[in-house]
Structure 1
Amino acid sequence: MTGEEGLPPARGLSTWTTRRWLRAGVAASLAVLALLGVTGAWVLGRTASISQELVDVKSPALNSSIRLESALLNQETGIRGYGLTGTAAFLAPYHQGLTEQKASTARLAELLRGDATERKGLKAVEDAVERWHERFARPIAASPAGAPTPLATERAVEGKAAFDAVRAAMAAQQEELQTAREEARDDLLGTMTLRNWVFSAIALVIVALATLVFEGLRRGITTPLDRLGEDARAVTGGDFEHPIAQTGPADLRRLSAEIDSMRRRLVRELAFTEEARLRLDAQAADLKRSNAELEQFAYVASHDLQEPLRKVSSFTQLLQRRYGGQLDAKADQYIDFAVDGANRMQILINDLLDFSRVGRVHHTHQSVDLGAVLKRTLSALSVGIEESGAVVTHDDLPSLVADPTQMGMLWQNLIGNAVKFRRAGETPRIHVSAEQEGELWRFAVTDNGIGIAPEYAEKVFVIFQRLHTKDAYDGSGIGLAMCKKIVEFHGGTIGIDPAHTRGARITFTLATTLPEHAGHADEGDDARRAG
């Protein structure tokens, strides 16, 4: 089942993913900004061009025209004074005016070279000046000094008319230059106004784009993600029936659909798991009740069999003592069988009773010195140890929180088995080692006896499992099973070390503190005894 099930078919813009929306938005923004940038650059260039023309051409041209007019006035004043008086001092302004005229004319020609109309105005001025020079200024300046020049009087009217023509040409040129400068200034002001409007528009467009981008991101990404996060947190909080809303661009809707699909699958899995848990709880309750009944049965059976079995054993022994040797050999053999069977049954029932009591009767929580417990166990097994000549050694053993009685039963079974299953013709050597591994202690009981085959490494810890006949080795087959129960009751594990081949090595672990479940064993025992 995919997350797209149940979704309506997508069309048009609804199929756009977040990446596609971002690409389209960025492309549109870049196009608008590029257009505005080109417009702004053109306006700035136009403003700079007009400003440069006004500063570098129009205003300097008008100033040069004014200086040219001043130079011509100096010439006219000097020539007129020289012609009327013949004083050579009046020629100084004339010659200085000529120099300034050449400079101003050259400057105007350079500034106005790109404007044909204004060049015509300059040409008209130059022509008028040349006529005045030719008909009036140069002839008078060439006259000898010391006396008035008759030519000045003769051509006074003509000279005035020629210089008036110069004035008119200069006035026309200056008017044109003034008009051009005014037009350039107006153009500059208009362009500056346009520039201000363009940059204001750019600022507004940037603000609008930023607002659109922010709003688009909010509506298309952040809001759907926030909604998705809220829905996901609701599901995480335990409301697995809460649906995941599918909003935003196509990829976010697909993500929401996938998460919702996962939620629905989790709901199904949780329902199945809850159903399985209820079944397991019911089975565990049945198993617990069955185990309790079995343990109670084993306890009651072994306990209630004691009295009739004791009578059977007592009377068969009494029959053996009183009538032994008075009957035939077959009868004596039968009596021996009955006595032996009753004794073995007595031992088996006692062992079974001890096995059922592990974790029920003996559950004293205290610090136990395992070395002292081992010492008492060796004292209790001293007869068998002396008869076999066994040598028992041990490492320094720690003190643990455990049940002392069960620890004694553990050492007694392990040491007793090591002595019992000795190799013929060889002195039994038994060593008990201890090594700490984190929170656990690992113990090992190593002997040089007959050993245990690898295929029986698990079988020997099952109750009533024997590897030898009762004629070869006595016992009930409960010892190692009881050891396993004691070790597991104390939170450890027990097993056969397959690496040790010369004899047997049984290793087991014990926790430094008693597990919690061990502290509640007395409740079940009290219930059984009350029953």
Structure 2
Amino acid sequence: MNVGGGRREPAGIARWTTRRWLTTGVAASAVVLLILGALGAWALGTTSRLTDEVTRYRSPALINAVRLEAALVNQETGVRGYGLTGRRDFLTPYTQGRADEKTALQALDRLVAGSGEAEKDLREVRSAVASWQRQVARPVASASGADAIRIASDRAGDGKRLFDSVRSSTARQQDHLLAARQHAGANLDAAQRLRNGVFAAIAVVIVVLMCAIFYGLRRGVTGPLTRLGAAARDVGRGQFDRKVPATGPADLQQLARDVDGMRERLLEELARSEEARSMLDQQADDLKRSNAELEQFAYVASHDLQEPLRKISSFTQLLQRRYGDKLDERADQYIAFAVDGANRMQVLINDLLMFSRVGRVHDQRSVSLEDSLNGAVDGLSVAVEESGARIEHDELPTVHGDAGQLGLLWQNLLSNAIKFRAPDRPPHIRVSVREEDGMWRFTVRDNGIGIAPEFREKVFVIFQRLHTREAYPGTGIGLAMCKKTVEFHGGAITIDPVDGDGTSISFTLPLQPSAEAADSEGSLVS
């Protein structure tokens, strides 16, 4: 069932995976090879059996039949010579022939056992030989010289007839053995041809299987993988409109569909990213316009707003000097309020201008924090002398940053430590430094009134004050400016928990970069 108009699931053989294809191919190849192996084994066994039949039975039987005939001929020659001459030395071929006959008959008994025709021929040869030996050979050979000649003469006709019978039986035996050998040889030749044909067929089938496997792997695995890889590389090079083809086994098709799905999601994400980039470009333009308006506001605040404040303060003071004897005490108080308000407004505007310049106007270079801290202490020399403050510090490193902003950082931290001192003891300020995780960690510790834990984050918010202006004067911008300065330089600032009285403020700054990096960054800034 095709739900929601999605792709139809493949059916039948199209659902086979690469593993199933390979398993089926290997199993089919194994079955074919087993069948061919069985045929080859049968051909080899048949050839071996026929070879044994020819070499171990047929040929030796024929050879021993010829030897038997030769032994019998030797016997006849010896008997006939002895019967003509009566000399015993003529019996030597007969004696040797008897021994050869025995050997040949023993071999033939073994070689023709179980072969009906050959056994019959051997019995006929034995019968003919026995008749000739009984009636002619043994009587002549056992008689004395004169008697042997007489017996041989008397039985010459029977001897010829009987030995002709021997010759006929041995000839038939040899003919039958020769025919059997030729038949076995023909069978062996046929078996060898069959064997060669079977092994040639095996070789052809193996070559065909290899070609089929190579073609199947190329078409079903390597080909789809190559096309999939090419499409994936094209997509990786940015051709997101290139559709990934889904071919080959089911698992490779699923992989191709997954890759194509990722391509389509990338297209969607790119479309959304392009839309977001357009919105960011628009927002950047709006931000540039807003920054330009803020710069204009800063200019107005630094010039146009301060001028009226100076006039208000100056004329109010002039009014007090000229008409002070004509005004009552309440009027003098009102004039003092106006002058104080104008002065505080001017200080607030200056602090706001300094806060807005952090991160916007800067000059990056190598800054000696030792000199920067000493400059801040010198700038606070009056407050230090009046409060009796004691300031100690470790040897401070050199960092990369804006010297003016880092000087204001030290000035704000030290002035806060002096301002928020305990009434019963002079300020004691300790500045320490250590290297930590590729950063410098600075700690400014004092013995003042401290900051409650619930206000440790609140103090870094601009205009946030923990005390009244009458108790501790100020605009509430100092620590906010410290936080902005530290973060602009790539660090972080926190209020640390302390044991006992006082406050501990820690901030981090990156280690001094290499000279090349510093020069490069300085040139970009300039």
TM range (shorter): over 0.9
In the alignment, does 2:288 pair up with 1:294? no
Task: Report the alpha carbon displacement of residue 297 of structure 1 after superposing the two structures with TM.
Answer: 1.5
Per the alignment, residue 366 of structure 1 pairs with 365
The 2-side partners of 1:172 and 1:107 are apart by: 18
C-alpha spacing 1:185/1:105, structure 2 compared with 1 (3 Å): same
TM-score normalised to structure 2 length: 0.92
In the alignment, does 2:253 pair up with 1:253? yes
SS of equivalent to 1:122: helix
Q: How does 1:295-310 map to 2 (within 5 A)?
A: 295-310=295-310
The 1-side partners of 2:13 and 2:127 are apart by: 76
Consecutive unaligned residues in structure 1, runs of 5 or more: 523-531
C-alpha spacing 1:454/1:82, structure 2 compared with 1 (3 Å): same
Cα contact 1:491–1:515 (8 A) shared by 2: no
Task: Report the alpha carbon displacement of residue 325 of structure 1 after superposing the two structures with TM.
Answer: 4.9
Cα contact 1:4–1:258 (8 A) shared by 2: no
Q: How does 1:135-150 map to 2 (within 5 A)?
A: 135-145=135-145, 148-150=148-150
SS of equivalent to 1:149: helix
C-alpha spacing 1:191/1:368, structure 2 compared with 1 (3 Å): same
SS of equivalent to 1:324: helix
Consecutive unaligned residues in structure 2, runs of 5 or more: none
In the alignment, does 2:478 pair up with 1:479? yes
Which AA in structure 2 matches 1:466? Answer: R
Moved more, 155-164 or 479-488: 479-488
Cα contact 2:459–2:480 (8 A) shared by 1: yes
In the alignment, does 2:488 pair up with 1:489? yes
Per the alignment, residue 196 of structure 1 pairs with 196
The 2-side partners of 1:432 and 1:150 are apart by: 157
TM-score normalised to structure 1 length: 0.91
Per the alignment, residue 445 of structure 1 pairs with 444
Task: Report the alpha carbon displacement of residue 288 of structure 1 after superposing the two structures with TM.
Answer: 4.3
Per the alignment, residue 132 of structure 2 pairs with 132
Cα contact 2:365–2:522 (8 A) shared by 1: no
Cα contact 1:377–1:411 (8 A) shared by 2: yes
Per the alignment, residue 526 of structure 1 pairs with none
Per the alignment, residue 184 of structure 2 pairs with 184
Cα contact 1:3–1:258 (8 A) shared by 2: no
Cα contact 1:302–1:352 (8 A) shared by 2: no
Per the alignment, residue 175 of structure 1 pairs with 175
Task: Report the alpha carbon displacement of residue 460 of structure 1 after superposing the two structures with TM.
Answer: 1.6
Per the alignment, residue 157 of structure 1 pairs with 157
Per the alignment, residue 33 of structure 1 pairs with 33
SS of equivalent to 2:423: coil
Per the alignment, residue 59 of structure 1 pairs with 59
Cα contact 1:443–1:508 (8 A) shared by 2: yes
The 1-side partners of 2:252 and 2:400 are apart by: 59
C-alpha spacing 1:86/1:39, structure 2 compared with 1 (3 Å): same
The 2-side partners of 1:203 and 1:408 are apart by: 91
Cα contact 1:29–1:209 (8 A) shared by 2: yes
Q: Deviations over 1:276-298 (max 9, x none)?
A: 33223323432443344235324
The 2-side partners of 1:219 and 1:391 are apart by: 86
Per the alignment, residue 222 of structure 1 pairs with 222
The 2-side partners of 1:245 and 1:72 are apart by: 91
Q: Deviations over 1:310-333 (max 9, x none)?
A: 111112222233333543222222
Task: Report the alpha carbon displacement of residue 500 of structure 1 after superposing the two structures with TM.
Answer: 5.7
Q: Deviations over 1:133-172 (max 9, x none)?
A: 1111122222223555322111110111001100110111
The 2-side partners of 1:344 and 1:418 are apart by: 21
In the alignment, does 2:244 pair up with 1:235? no
Per the alignment, residue 44 of structure 1 pairs with 44
Q: Deviations over 1:241-263 (max 9, x none)?
A: 21111111222222222222222
SS of equivalent to 1:373: helix
C-alpha spacing 1:489/1:261, structure 2 compared with 1 (3 Å): closer
Task: Report the alpha carbon displacement of residue 444 of structure 1 after superposing the two structures with TM.
Answer: 1.7
C-alpha spacing 1:285/1:457, structure 2 compared with 1 (3 Å): farther
Q: Deviations over 1:376-405 (max 9, x none)?
A: 221221221121111100110112233322
The 2-side partners of 1:42 and 1:486 are apart by: 94
SS of equivalent to 2:444: strand
Per the alignment, residue 311 of structure 2 pairs with 311
Per the alignment, residue 381 of structure 1 pairs with 380
The 1-side partners of 2:365 and 2:193 are apart by: 99
Per the alignment, residue 429 of structure 1 pairs with 428
SS of equivalent to 2:145: coil
Cα contact 2:447–2:502 (8 A) shared by 1: yes
Task: Report the alpha carbon displacement of residue 492 of structure 1 after superposing the two structures with TM.
Answer: 2.4
The 2-side partners of 1:421 and 1:286 are apart by: 42
Cα contact 1:418–1:430 (8 A) shared by 2: yes
SS of equivalent to 2:392: strand
Cα contact 2:364–2:521 (8 A) shared by 1: no
The 2-side partners of 1:334 and 1:120 are apart by: 162
Per the alignment, residue 92 of structure 1 pairs with 92
SS of equivalent to 2:97: helix
SS of equivalent to 2:181: helix
The 1-side partners of 2:251 and 2:357 are apart by: 67
C-alpha spacing 1:359/1:249, structure 2 compared with 1 (3 Å): closer
C-alpha spacing 1:515/1:120, structure 2 compared with 1 (3 Å): same
Q: Deviations over 1:400-432 (max 9, x none)?
A: 233322222221111111001001101211011
Which AA in structure 2 matches 1:21? Answer: W
The 2-side partners of 1:145 and 1:203 are apart by: 75
Moved more, 3-12 or 288-297: 3-12
Per the alignment, residue 264 of structure 1 pairs with 264
Which AA in structure 2 matches 1:179? Answer: A
Which AA in structure 1 matches 2:49? Answer: S
The 2-side partners of 1:21 and 1:267 are apart by: 34
C-alpha spacing 1:3/1:301, structure 2 compared with 1 (3 Å): farther
The 1-side partners of 2:365 and 2:522 are apart by: 12
In the alignment, does 2:460 pair up with 1:461? yes
Cα contact 1:132–1:162 (8 A) shared by 2: yes
The 2-side partners of 1:318 and 1:46 are apart by: 139
SS of equivalent to 2:130: helix
Which AA in structure 2 matches 1:10? Answer: P
SS of equivalent to 2:404: helix
SS of equivalent to 1:492: coil
C-alpha spacing 1:280/1:453, structure 2 compared with 1 (3 Å): farther
Report the number of matched residues. 520
